[in-house]
Amino acid sequence: MASCLHWSHTSDPHSLEKAPGIHYDRISLTPMAKETILAPEVLQQIEETKEADILIGIPSFNNSRTIGNVIRTVRTGLAKHFSKQRALIVTSDGGSQDETSDVIREAFIEDPRLIMLSRSPHPVHKMIAPYYGIPDKAGVFRTLFEIAENLGVKACAFVDADLKSITPEWVELLIKPILQEGFDYVTPSYLRHKYDGTITTSMIYPLTRALYGQRISQPIGGDFGFSGGLASHYLSKEVWHTEVARYGIDLWMTTTAITERFKICQSFLGAKVHEPRSPASDLSAMLSQVVGAAFSLMESYEHFWFSVKGSEPTPIYGRRFEVGIEPISVNLDRMINAYRQGVADLFGIWEHFVPGDTLAGLRRLASVSPPNFHFPDALWARTVYDFAVAHFRNKMDRDHLVKSMTPLYLGRTASFVIETQDSSAADVENKMELICLEYENLKPYLINRWKSY
């Protein structure tokens, strides 16, 4: 492929490193100049491979205990469902300090248990693409996008390296809608415990749905498929040196696909089970990164979401089935106490940008004890919108502003747990739908404050 031969390794791999601290810059929507972060040896591998139909990317960082099985499962899925296509597995490591690289190399040695792979018309090729910058997900993704573009890949999928629940069918469910149904972007749909992923279910999903009009339940799912054309489109964007890319690349990809009107569907993958992780040392930092990225994207795409009213379903590919879900324990007293302490400590700060009626509701709730502790949907949606407007108007340091939402988020989560303790799965889904509708109903409130604040 001629384009492979004319690319050069011109960028300093450490130029992606940013100064400490979180600040979300406005994202330019215009094309950027062509550059590459691919190492010369990777460009040589691309030239030797020449072309491929399918690329499966596996970003990794300290995943030595799981990545071997993920690679083998992906190989099986490709052999089972796409034996007639030329397939490429690319692992891109973000600088692991454990034995991840050794496990990857071992997994790429021919395994006699997978002899079926050698009999496929187009054997699955393997490529290890080290990423030489900081271990940020955006840099890893950019590496994979560039490889896909250079090889003229038709369909791509990324899967997490710490998955324990991945099956060969995930490969089919993420790739087939692109190759056979003409979709450009495939987001995952998981069956999750009702208390799992509450940042997504209480904030990111309803906010994204209300803003952009698409019901995509996992806008930051981590496992998704996309066309080669969309990969090239992502590369053309001037986003890679921003904090949004560093901390919100999944959400940026979803938002870009929606706002630039690519054809989107969801695929039901069953349960998503990760390798157990160390407890988050700082929930407020996680909120600052994820929610801060969502708020920054609101600024970049305001030209789109101002005119969106309501939302519409997104097609779901694959058959929904019941699977076992790991239980999740919660500490209600700790969450409610954190909420009360937050109101006591931060009320004076919130007064500078949160309207009086919202503040009054937050203060009243601080005096309520279980089982009557109830954070109304309307109050919660309005609070999120008030913080989004304050973020847009730079009412205070953006990092500190979003971190100050932590006790509010914990209070909202505690309320949801109390309200759904004895609820069936159908009842919980209905409850989540009502939350989303409240975000949609209050969107005029957001737009009015956004324009006139």
Is residue 33 over pLDDT 70?
Answer: no
Model pLDDT for residues 112-131, shown as the tens digit of each residue: 333 222 234 456 767 776 65
Neighbours of 12 (CB within 10 A): 11
pLDDT at 121 (0 to 100) = 44
What is the percentage of the chain residues whose pLDDT exceeds 70? 83
Model pLDDT for residues 227-252, shown as the tens digit of each residue: 999 999 999 999 998 889 988 999 99
pLDDT at 6 (0 to 100) = 21
Phi, psi of 20 (to 5 degrees): -60, 155
Res. 324 pLDDT band, cuts 50 70 90: low
The closest alpha carbon to 137, from 54, 243, 216, belongs to 243
Same domain, 370 and 303: no
Q: Exposed, middle or buried by CB within 10 Å (0-12, 13-18, 19+), for 320?
A: exposed
Same domain, 305 and 360: no
Domain boundary among 272, 287, 317: 317
Residue 324 within a domain: no
Same domain, 235 and 91: yes
Count structural domains, the chain. Answer: 2
pLDDT at 219 (0 to 100) = 96
Mean pLDDT of 428-436: 93
Same domain, 260 and 119: yes
Residue 98 within a domain: yes
C-alpha 327/C-alpha 364 separation (Å) is 32
Cβ pair 255, 297 in contact under 8 A: yes
The closest alpha carbon to 185, from 51, 321, 315, belongs to 315
Cβ pair 387, 402 in contact under 8 A: yes
Cβ pair 49, 151 in contact under 8 A: yes
Res. 447 pLDDT band, cuts 50 70 90: very high
pLDDT at 168 (0 to 100) = 96
Domain boundary among 287, 317, 347: 317
Higher-pLDDT residue of 108, 297: 297
- Degrees (nearest 5) of the Cα angle 239, 95, 36? 40
Cβ pair 290, 211 in contact under 8 A: no
Cβ pair 167, 188 in contact under 8 A: no
Same domain, 35 and 144: yes
Same domain, 270 and 372: no
C-alpha 156/C-alpha 229 separation (Å) is 10
**Tokens matching residue 263:** 């054809």
Q: Exposed, middle or buried by CB within 10 Å (0-12, 13-18, 19+), for 364?
A: exposed
DSSP string, 342-410: HHHHHHHHHTTTS-HHHHHHHHHHTT--TTS----HHHHHHHHHHHHHHHHTT-S-HHHHHHTTHHHHH
Q: Is the Cα dihedral 245, 250, 254, 260 positive or negative?
A: positive
- DSSP label of 168: H
Residue 24 within a domain: no
C-alpha 17/C-alpha 94 separation (Å) is 13
Same domain, 123 and 157: yes
pLDDT at 274 (0 to 100) = 75
Residue 20 within a domain: no
Write the CA distances from 27 to 126, 232, 402, integer angstroms. 34, 17, 19
**Tokens matching residue 127:** 């490529």
Domain CATH number, residue 70 = 3.90.550.10
Which long-range CB contacts under 8 A does 95-100 form with residues at least 24 apart? Answer: 95/61, 95/131, 95/134, 95/135, 96/60, 96/61, 96/62, 96/63, 96/64, 96/135, 97/62, 98/62, 98/63, 98/64, 99/64, 100/60, 100/61, 100/62, 100/63, 100/64, 100/67, 100/161
For the ranges 22-31, 192-201, 308-317, the one whose mean pLDDT is highest: 308-317
Domain boundary among 317, 346, 364: 317
Same domain, 233 and 369: no
Residue 254 within a domain: yes
Is residue 23 over pLDDT 70?
Answer: no
- Provide the domain limits for residue 264: 2-14+29-317
Pairing mode, strands 125-128 and 214-215: unpaired
C-alpha 374/C-alpha 414 separation (Å) is 8
Res. 16 pLDDT band, cuts 50 70 90: very low
The closest alpha carbon to 151, from 250, 254, 7, 260, belongs to 7
Same domain, 122 and 152: yes
Residue 144 within a domain: yes
Mean pLDDT of 339-354: 97
Residue 322 within a domain: no
pLDDT at 102 (0 to 100) = 86
Model pLDDT for residues 141-162, shown as the tens digit of each residue: 998 999 999 999 999 999 999 9
What is the reported pTM? 0.86
Same domain, 339 and 302: no
Q: Is the Cα dihedral 303, 243, 55, 53 positive or negative?
A: positive
| Rounded (10°) CA dihedral 399, 400, 406, 412 | -90
pLDDT at 370 (0 to 100) = 87
Mean pLDDT (the chain) is: 84
- DSSP label of 163: B
Residue 19 within a domain: no
Res. 10 pLDDT band, cuts 50 70 90: very low
Q: Exposed, middle or buried by CB within 10 Å (0-12, 13-18, 19+), for 132?
A: middle
Same domain, 223 and 147: yes
Longest dimension (CA), the chain: 69
Same domain, 96 and 155: yes
